[in-house]
Amino acid sequence: MIAKAAGLDADLIVLDLEDSVRADDKAAARAALPGALERLHGRDAAVRVNAPDSAHFSDDLAMLDGVGDTLVVVPKVQSPADLAPLSGRALLPMIETPTGVLAAGAIAAAAGVAGLLVGTNDLAAALRLPPDAGRGH
């Protein structure tokens, strides 16, 4: 899968440690991450860690020491304080809750933030939108 990603015409390849990795596979995914980044052959890449309030976040922080200055995607950010443990890193916070939307300006102004991503599925669920709401509702 990493070889396929390396060959794609994408602006950024995001290696996910959050939703795409089952809880019992997270340690193995963290261990494989430095090698996966190497196999991307210098492509622009980011790592999506687990949410700051997750039981897996501290292990993700420790793993980041081994991946250099890789861009970090941080899910479910609700305030700039959620980014404090990642000081000194380039960050792409994900806005996925109503609280995050209200704090988006402050989050965007936090040190290290390169841009914001919106997690539309989680945001729609948090807003209790009907699954079939679409854009026209």
pLDDT tens, 76-121? 999 999 999 999 999 999 999 999 999 999 999 999 999 999 999 9
Instruction: Give the model confidence (pLDDT) of 58-82 as tens digits.
Output: 999 999 988 888 999 999 999 999 9
- The amino acid at residue 80 is P
Chain segment 22-43, per-residue pLDDT in tens: 999 999 999 999 999 988 877 8
> Which amino acid, residue 9?
D
Tell the residue number behind the tokens 């860690």, with chain if given: 49
pLDDT band at 135 (very low <50, low <70, confident <90, very high): low
112: left (phi over 0), alpha (psi -120 to 50) or beta: left
Question: In Å, what is the CA distance from 92 to each residue of 14, 74, 98, 134?
Answer: 11, 6, 18, 26
